[in-house]
């Protein structure tokens, strides 16, 4: 094959954005994929560049001064070269259908909504790069074949050689390729006959070529969608190449298909299997708004729906709605006596029972461990909400069989009737929870409507506040330490410090007092104590043992503690007083915290990193992070949440964990996986090059003396006599 027949190794991509930082970010991401990124700062500049380059793809921002993205796309499509270049909009504007339809009318083949996942962007771009290379390769092959046909009259051997070269191209293509023939006139894709397919297409279809060639495509795929047939007919009619992403129910796969006309009566299809990517995208979207255990709406989606209900009540007279807050009475006994797996089964069954009572237009959400919330819309009377609440209680009171045990439950339900004078949906949900607590105080299994007099919760808050004050004064808080190990090599790499409240001989778990401490603001002095104690212990360990270079003690920071203006000064004093090397301390903050006010968080994290302290984002993947901000955060570590690690049998979780590890490494972070409970999980994470792990496979959180024993066994002493 001559030089002119070889597709270029570097493909040009045009990126159009009026913000230089976005151009730099996209250029940095895409150049790693072996493409040449050409940048344009506005619409007119991009139109000029299209006339000069053969671009494989255009990434176009919508919101630009002067000529916006939609107008730019239309101008590009009006040019001879521009009409065949695939175009993807990258935008932060509304996802409403009218905006999306406007984009497609302007010539877009796909949409990416900011903030977008970097891995998804790279996958999408790689598809078009591969398509472009395949189009060039097949175009050259078609030209070579046409030339060979012309030479056929002179040499039969030339035809044989050309056929061999053409067949080699088909065989070596990574994407599936099919060549179809059709009768003169409008193309009916179902009636087109398969002339040739390559091995990649055989794998996609799940059939050998002998079962496919010379058969009508409709006989092979009888359930071809109408829009796919219309797409193919338009490509055949216009002679212009096109791109579409479609689900083929016959083979249960998502395919990204490029179609073009290589010659009269022919249609070529180049297909990439994007099923795994589609499932990963859907899973990430579900994680944002769906509770992974029950499949119900999560708290974020619930509050969004509640905001909409509140807005409707302000606009419409006589609009009635209600919020129900439900908590299972004595549910913790299930977890403690039967285990968390049985508890999860109970929660899923409860979710199904609640959905069975709720109406189609209502919203049902899981708002906490054993807490559920409902929005009842379009009520005729307030009494209708009470009837629904009582029916839920009656349904939950029926015996439930779990692991051969017949379980009986009751539920306490608080009700807030709307419309009501609330500024924020959280306040309304909080009052529903207050009413639920009053229902529980009546013995459980009751329904209570919220009344403003219930604001006496301030008395309860005062009581809790006093108890926590006494706990600080009496030095009742303790730190337990969960070891963190290297997954490749197995050495001890540090501990995570976890706070406990000790009252006499009883240990109170964080879940039973941290929420109250956060509500009263006492989480700040409690967090300061935990930070100082962690520095003291880490410094002692550093003096007594030959700790590895990467050894750290991780401490969790609450949102209120992180927001303290003197946090950096407090930390500096704790390090100095204990003579602790800053790199031995790692601060853990949640993904939700960093996205509450990312601009402020970035500045504070930079101050911490300048001190030499390490920073980790905890429970990564359970919230919603903007990758553009994540790239700017000066952090060291991402912690994969235990909810993903504990259920690696789910294919979606495998994809998510692999994506998080890859994302972290691409951004220069290391990874800690939480909740490792068996060797199979450990080995899988080690294969992904996840650096560190913690969980019950290695050890539960232990007291300081037990941590010392572990250090003695894992690390040599500086002074054997000490």
- With bands split at pLDDT 50, 70 and 90, how would you rate the model's confidence at 3? very low
pLDDT at 432: 92
Q: Residue 653 above 50 pLDDT?
A: yes
CATH number for the domain whose boundaries are 287-450: 3.30.70.270
CATH 3.30.450.20 boundaries in the chain: 135-280
Residue 700 main-chain phi, psi, to 5 deg: -75, 165
* CATH 3.40.50.2300 boundaries in the chain: 3-129
Q: What is the pLDDT of residue 521?
A: 82
Between helix 651-666 and helix 118-151 the angle, nearest 10°, is 90
pTM summary value = 0.42
Q: Which CATH architecture has domain 135-280?
A: 2-Layer Sandwich (3.30)
| pLDDT tens sequence across 580-601 | 999 999 999 887 777 777 777 8
CA distance 63 to 107: 16
Better-scored residue on pLDDT, 708 or 289: 708
Q: What is the pLDDT of residues 154-203, one digit of tens each?
A: 555 544 555 555 556 556 567 888 899 998 888 999 899 999 888 889 98
Q: Are 302 and 432 in contact (CB under 8 A)?
A: no
> How do residues 427-463 score in pLDDT, each as one tens digit?
899 899 989 988 888 887 899 999 877 766 646 666 7
* pLDDT, position 135: 78
- The residue count for the chain: 722
- Given a contact cutoff of 8 angstroms between Cβ atoms, the answer to whether 212 and 202 are in contact is yes
pLDDT beyond 80 at 568: yes
What is residue 300's predicted lDDT score, i.e. its pLDDT? 86
- Does the pLDDT value for residue 33 go beyond 90? no
% residues pLDDT > 70 (the chain): 88
State pLDDT tens for residues 342-391.
888 889 999 999 999 998 889 999 988 889 999 998 898 989 999 999 99
pLDDT of residue 226: 82
What pLDDT band is residue 576 in, cutting at 50, 70 and 90? very high
Residue 434 · residue 457 · CB < 8 Å: yes
Eight-state DSSP code of residue 251: T
The domain covering 480-714 belongs, at the CATH homologous superfamily level, to EAL domain (3.20.20.450)
Please check whether the domain covering 3-129 is classified as CATH 3.40.50.720.
Answer: no
Which of these ranges, 48-52, 119-123, 707-711, has the smallest mean pLDDT? 119-123
E-strand ranges in 585-665 read: 585-590, 614-620, 637-640
- DSSP calls for 322-355: EEEEEEETTTHHHHHHH-HHHHHHHHHHHHHHHH
Q: pLDDT digits over 304-345, tens only?
A: 889 988 988 888 878 899 999 999 888 878 877 788 888 888
Give every CB contact of residue 257 below 8 A, 6+ residues apart in sequence: 228, 243, 244, 245, 246, 269, 270, 271
Which tens digits make up the pLDDT trace of 135-145? 777 777 767 76
- The pLDDT mean for the chain works out to 84
pLDDT, tens digit (0-9, with 9 covering 90-100), for 54-71: 888 888 888 888 888 888
In the chain, list all ranges with CATH 3.20.20.450.
480-714
Give the pLDDT of residue 584. Answer: 93
Per-residue pLDDT at 65 = 85
In 114-220, DSSP assigns E strands to 176-181, 193-197
454-511 residue pLDDT tens: 766 646 666 777 888 888 888 899 999 999 999 988 789 999 999 999 988 888 888 8
pLDDT at 334: 81
Q: What is the pLDDT of residue 6?
A: 42
pLDDT at 412 over 60: yes
Q: How many CB atoms lie within 10 A of CB 114?
A: 15
Largest Cα span, the chain: 102
ω into residue 115 within 30 of 0, thus cis?
yes
Best-predicted range by mean pLDDT (77-91, 102-116, 135-149):
77-91
Mean pLDDT (whole number) for 637-656: 86
Q: How high is the pLDDT of residue 19?
A: 83
Q: SS3 letters for 513-574?
A: CHHHHHHHCCHHHHHHHHHHHHHHHHHHHHHHECCCCCCEEEEECCHHHHCCCCHHHHHHHH
pLDDT at 625: 60
For residues 230-238, average pLDDT: 90
Are 531 and 473 a contacting pair, CB within 8 Å?
A: no
| Start and end residues for every CATH 3.30.70.270 domain found in the chain | 287-450
| Stronger pLDDT, 20 or 96, i.e. the higher one | 20
């Amino acid at each position: 094959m001559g030089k002119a027949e070889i597709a270029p190794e570097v493909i040009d991509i045009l990126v159009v954005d009026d913000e230089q930082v976005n151009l730099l970010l996209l250029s940095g991401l895409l150049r790693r994929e072996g493409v040449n990124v050409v940048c344009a700062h506005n619409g007119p500049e991009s139109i000029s560049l299209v006339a000069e380059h053969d671009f494989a793809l255009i990434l176009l921002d919508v919101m630009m001064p002067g000529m916006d993205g939609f107008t730019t796309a239309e101008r590009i499509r009006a040019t001879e070269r521009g009409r065949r270049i695939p175009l993807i909009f990258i935008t932060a504007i509304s996802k409403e259908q009218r905006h999306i339809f406007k984009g497609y009318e302007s010539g877009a083949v796909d949409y990416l909504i900011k903030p977008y996942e970097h891995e998804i962007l790279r996958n999408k771009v790689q598809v078009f790069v591969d398509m472009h290379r395949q189009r060039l390769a097949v175009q050259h092959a078609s030209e070579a074949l046409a030339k060979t046909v012309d030479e056929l009259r002179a040499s039969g051997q030339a035809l044989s050689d050309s056929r061999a070269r053409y067949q080699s191209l088909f065989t070596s293509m990574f994407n599936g390729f099919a060549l179809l023939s059709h009768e003169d006139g409008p193309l009916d894709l179902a009636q087109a006959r398969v002339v040739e397919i390559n091995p990649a297409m055989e794998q996609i279809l799940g059939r050998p070529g002998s079962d496919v060639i010379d058969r009508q495509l409709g006989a092979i795929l009888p359930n071809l969608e109408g829009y796919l047939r219309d797409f193919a007919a338009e490509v055949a009619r216009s002679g212009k190449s096109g791109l579409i992403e479609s689900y083929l129910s016959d083979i249960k796969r998502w395919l990204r298909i490029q179609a073009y006309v290589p010659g009269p009566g022919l249609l070529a299809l180049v297909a990439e299997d994007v099923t795994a990517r589609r499932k990963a995208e859907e899973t990430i979207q579900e994680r944002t708004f769906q509770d992974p255990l029950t499949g119900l709406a999560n708290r974020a989606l619930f509050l969004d729906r509640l905001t909409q209900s509140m807005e409707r009540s302000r606009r419409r007279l006589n609009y009635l709605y209600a919020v129900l807050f439900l908590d299972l009475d004595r549910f913790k006994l299930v977890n403690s006596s039967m285990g968390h797996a049985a508890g999860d089964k109970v929660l899923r069954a409860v979710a199904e029972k609640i959905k069975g009572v709720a109406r189609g237009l209502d919203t049902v959400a899981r708002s906490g461990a054993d807490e559920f919330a409902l929005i009842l819309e379009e009520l005729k009377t307030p009494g209708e909400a009470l009837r629904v609440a009582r029916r839920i209680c009656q349904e939950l009171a029926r015996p439930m069989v779990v692991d051969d045990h017949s379980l009986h439950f009751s539920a306490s339900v608080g009700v807030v009737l709307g419309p009501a004078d609330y500024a924020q949906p959280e306040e309304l949900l909080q009052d529903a929870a207050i009413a639920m607590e009053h229902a529980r105080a009546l013995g459980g299994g009751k329904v209570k409507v919220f009344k403003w007099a219930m604001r006496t919760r301030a008395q309860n808050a005062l009581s809790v506040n006093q108890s926590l004050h006494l706990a600080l004064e009496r030095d009742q808080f303790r730190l337990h330490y969960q070891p963190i190990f290297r997954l490749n090599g197995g050495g001890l790499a540090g501990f995570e410090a976890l706070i406990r409240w000790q009252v006499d001989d009883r240990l109170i778990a964080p879940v039973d007092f941290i929420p109250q401490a956060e509500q009263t603001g006492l989480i700040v002095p409690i967090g300061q104590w935990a930070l100082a104690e962690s520095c003291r212990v880490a410094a002692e360990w550093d003096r007594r043992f030959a700790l590895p270079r990467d050894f750290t003690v991780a401490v969790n920071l609450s949102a209120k503690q992180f927001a303290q203006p003197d946090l950096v000064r407090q930390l500096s004093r704790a390090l100095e007083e204990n003579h602790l090397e800053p790199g031995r301390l790692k601060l853990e903050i949640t993904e939700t915290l960093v996205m509450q006010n990312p601009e402020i968080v970035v500045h504070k994290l930079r101050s911490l990193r300048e001190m030499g302290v390490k920073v980790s984002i905890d429970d990564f993947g359970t919230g919603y992070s903007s990758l553009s901000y994540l790239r700017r955060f000066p952090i060291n570590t991402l912690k994969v949440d235990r909810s993903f690690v504990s259920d690696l049998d789910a294919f979606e979780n495998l994809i998510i964990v692999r994506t998080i590890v890859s994302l972290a490494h691409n951004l220069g972070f290391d990874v800690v996986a939480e909740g490792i409970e068996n060797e199979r999980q450990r080995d899988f994470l080690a294969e992904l090059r996840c650096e560190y792990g913690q969980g019950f496979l290695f050890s539960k959180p232990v007291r300081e003396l037990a941590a010392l024993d572990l250090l003695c066994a894992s690390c040599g002493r500086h002074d054997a006599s000490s």
